[in-house]
Amino acid sequence: MSRLKNIEKRFWLTLLILTGLRLCFVGRFELAPDEAYYWAWSRHLAWAYYDQGPMLAWFIRFFTTLSAANTETSVRLGAVLLSALTSWVFFVWLRKMFRDARAAWLGFLALQAALLFAVGAVLMMHDSLMMCAWVAALFFFYRALFEDWQPGWALGAAALGAGALSKYSMALFVPCLLLFLLLSRRHRSWWRRPHLYLAGLFTLLLVSPLLVWNSQHGWASFGHVAFLGGTQKNFSLSLQTAGEFIAGQLAVMTPLLGAFCLAAPVIAWRAGRRDPETREQYLFLACFSAPILLFFLLLSVHTRIYANWAAPAYPAALAILAGWVQNAWNSPASGRVRAWVGVTLGLAAALTLAVHVEAVWGFPPLRGRAAASLDRIRGWRALGQEAGERLRELRRREPRSVFLAARRYQIAAELSFYTPGQPPVQLLPEREPANNQYRFWDRSGLLAGQDALFVCEDGWEASHLQSRFDRIETLPVFRVYDRGRFVREIRFFLGRGFRPAGVAAVHYARRGPGRQRP
């Protein structure tokens, strides 16, 4: 009992310190392009969006409204608090499942050390919400199945629905659960009871806004997800993309910890064979890790997979590792086990800490893809100030109205957030409609005839402007530096006399340029 209390004290103290540090940290660096994009969502609340469900936008809107400010801290506040909630639920789940606080403590430490989770705790992304819902659903359905705790079915369905409203990857939970109910002899009886089907109906009710919104918008979200999955490509096999997927997993989970996580399903199988009493628990965990890893590995042979897509597999994988280590903690080989645990967690924590320190202070300097990834959160405030000054000068000396425009949603969103006054930015993609949420925010018809300050990173991004304006003027290039190091080059163009494309062009032709709004 005393050991349990000591571990719980360590847990709460560590969680409190980490949460406090993250709260101090999240305001020290600029929004990533996708974060700025999701903040733009929060200015246009809806039941779903082109890319994903609405939960992320609702969270950002809630915390920016609560803090009465649109800042990096207010945008990311939800990610920090959700990471704390996820950590607590994960700790309680492991302690209950393995009936041992040390296993829960080790799992908690591994979760914090993993770069994937640590980044999700300070960046406001879909994974921040979905991972919290995923761990909660694991906890509730585990209690419903293994403890016959009736509220677990409703609470698990609620977590499943909330996760689906956050990110469509939450749908992977359903086949994992059904696979366990098929493989587990002890739990097959649930197929003959109403709880499973009522939970499914409740989940469908919760996700119905997604279905309604998509039915009204040409099933845009589902088409986008299918596109990301490579359904538009001819069938092909590529060992290169499969190798990139594996390397990506080792990178986001850190090398040693990632390797153990990839081997976790095998570890679960061997542990279940040795100990019949925990066989069902390990089967449950394996069903929520192995199918996800295998699915994305197979998909990676056909198309490129983002490293974070397999994130749902890792809570169960880390739980397997925690239970396995706990069983070996007092074995004859305990010395080697403890050494491996120390090295694995130490390396993971060191790499994760290095990324955090470099993101704010630029030390130690990273190279390659790691440096390129961190550069994505640098230079946007300077760009916003520069764009604001140029826009103000143009509006001062030009008789016609001037609006901000960009070709890519990332730059459009960063401009909206960091330009003084946080103005809306019109997306001008090469092909209409845009393959992102901006297709539903198009204001072309209202902007016809006006001038535009067009912002892009590469000159080729402005290649289509000749067909969208009466005349194009090239403005001085703006170079962004961070601590004296070159980050990116931004190009500005002044478009004279905007001509809408697509449907807006038809309205423009009917109304005429002289009747457009200023």
Burial class (CB in 10 A: 0-12, 13-18, 19+), 250: middle
340 in Cβ contact with 325 (< 8 Å): no
279 and 394 part of one domain: no
pLDDT tens sequence for the chain (518 residues): 566 678 999 999 999 999 999 999 999 999 999 999 999 999 999 999 999 999 999 999 999 999 999 999 999 999 999 999 999 999 999 999 998 899 999 999 999 999 999 999 999 999 999 999 999 999 999 999 999 999 999 999 999 999 999 999 999 999 999 999 999 999 999 999 999 999 999 999 999 999 999 999 999 998 888 888 777 666 677 788 899 999 999 999 999 999 999 999 999 999 888 888 889 999 999 999 999 999 999 999 988 899 999 999 999 999 999 999 998 887 777 788 899 999 999 999 999 999 999 888 877 776 666 677 788 889 999 999 999 999 999 988 877 789 999 999 999 999 999 999 999 999 999 888 889 999 999 999 999 999 999 999 887 788 889 899 999 999 999 999 887 788 889 999 999 999 997 544 444 444 444 333 33
Q: What does the alpha-carbon distance between residue 364 and residue 357 come to, in Å, rounded to a whole number?
A: 8
Q: What does the alpha-carbon distance between residue 380 and residue 32 come to, in Å, rounded to a whole number?
A: 9
| 39, part of any domain | yes
394 and 353 part of one domain: no
303 and 389 part of one domain: no
215 and 354 part of one domain: yes
| 352, part of any domain | yes
| 205, part of any domain | yes
498 and 402 part of one domain: yes
364 and 384 part of one domain: no
| 24, part of any domain | yes
Structure-block tokens of residue 381: 């405030």
Q: What does the alpha-carbon distance between residue 490 and residue 499 come to, in Å, rounded to a whole number?
A: 24
| 219, part of any domain | yes
pTM here is 0.92
Where among 346, 370, 394 does a domain terminate?
A: 370
351 and 432 part of one domain: no
| 375, part of any domain | no
Structure-block tokens of residue 396: 């001062």
195 and 91 part of one domain: yes
Residue 112's H or E segment, with its range, is: helix 101-113
312 and 389 part of one domain: no
Q: What does the alpha-carbon distance between residue 253 and residue 115 come to, in Å, rounded to a whole number?
A: 5
Domain that holds residue 396: 380-515
43 and 146 part of one domain: yes
Where among 370, 402, 436 does a domain terminate?
A: 370
| 283, part of any domain | yes
408 and 325 part of one domain: no
3-state helix, strand, coil in the chain (%, to 5): 70, 5, 25
401 and 278 part of one domain: no
- Domain count within the chain: 2
| 239, part of any domain | no
Where among 344, 370, 396 does a domain terminate?
A: 370
